[in-house]
Amino acid sequence: MPTTRVDLHAKVLDDEVVRRAKAAGIDVLVYAPHFTRLPDARDRAAEYSDDELLVVPGRELFTGSWRDRKHVLAVGLTDPVPDFITLDAVFDELRRQDAAALVPHPGFLNVSLTPTDVERFRDTVAAVETHNPKHLPYHDSRARAIADAYDIPGFASSYAHLPETVGGVWTAFDAAIDSEADLVDALESGVPRQTYHQRGARYQVRSLAEKLHLGYENTWEKIDRILLSGTEPTHPRHIAYDGQFDDVAVY
């Protein structure tokens, strides 16, 4: 039976990321950068895909306001979906587009779906993240408990905001995955899989670097985006969405 190694969530994509992914034997990388519209992510993913590594565009959707964020990772979108719309609207769109809805870092800080949310959208959620390098051991335990409680398959990802983290975490699916459609099918059909991450001092150092980056991302970068930057390209009232999401926008 074929096995496909997938890193289901990375924020960065360049030559170094591709080199590290290939060196680790990763076959598929989901590229889901913050505040980047789907067409742009899709173009960049195509630029870095080749016969050795399939790069699939994704969107980590920021639902709700900055004070009440709940992130949903979408794979297989056909149409752009903005950030800062209601959680219900996001799941409505994912169902409409037959995209795979994944739960990244469940219950983590104030940016995640809660167990109640997971239960509410159980029929749509395809997988729950049970490990990434930003997690502490108790985060992993809690995530596995949430996945087990609702009988939802798990996944692991590098959640890489730094290129050096790519290659340290993957999910091995018991299936051949040669296209974005194959990945969506594997996720939604619950294909058996195993999660893996590297061990040892080097992995711990990279995990620490990712945790430190999280601190930056939630302090100065957040202030910059709220106070100093203009309208995000994924803001629901951006001209690119032509008013389609005005009725479910939170800003």
Residue 92 has pLDDT above 60, yes or no: yes
Predicted confidence at residue 226, as pLDDT, reads: 47
Q: Can you read off the two tokens belonging to residue 18?
A: 């591709």
Q: Over pLDDT 90: what percentage of the chain?
A: 80
- For 228, phi then psi, to 5°, come to -105, -25
Q: What is the pTM of this model?
A: 0.93
Backbone angles phi, psi at 140, to 5 degrees: -60, -45
Count of residues in the chain: 251
Q: For residues 207-219, give the mean pLDDT.
A: 73
* Predicted confidence (pLDDT) at residue 220 exceeds the cutoff of 50: no
Give the whole-angstrom CA distance, residue 98 versus residue 229.
Answer: 33
Which strand (E) or helix (H) includes residue 19?
helix 15-23
Cβ atoms of 69 and 63 closer than 8 Å: yes
Helix (H) or strand (E) segment spanning residue 71: strand 70-75
> Could you say which DSSP state residue 134 is in?
T
Domains and their CATH numbers in the chain: 4-248 (3.20.20.140)
User: In the predicted model, what is the mean pLDDT of the chain?
Assistant: 92
Poorest-pLDDT segment among 65-74, 91-100, 133-142, 225-234: 225-234
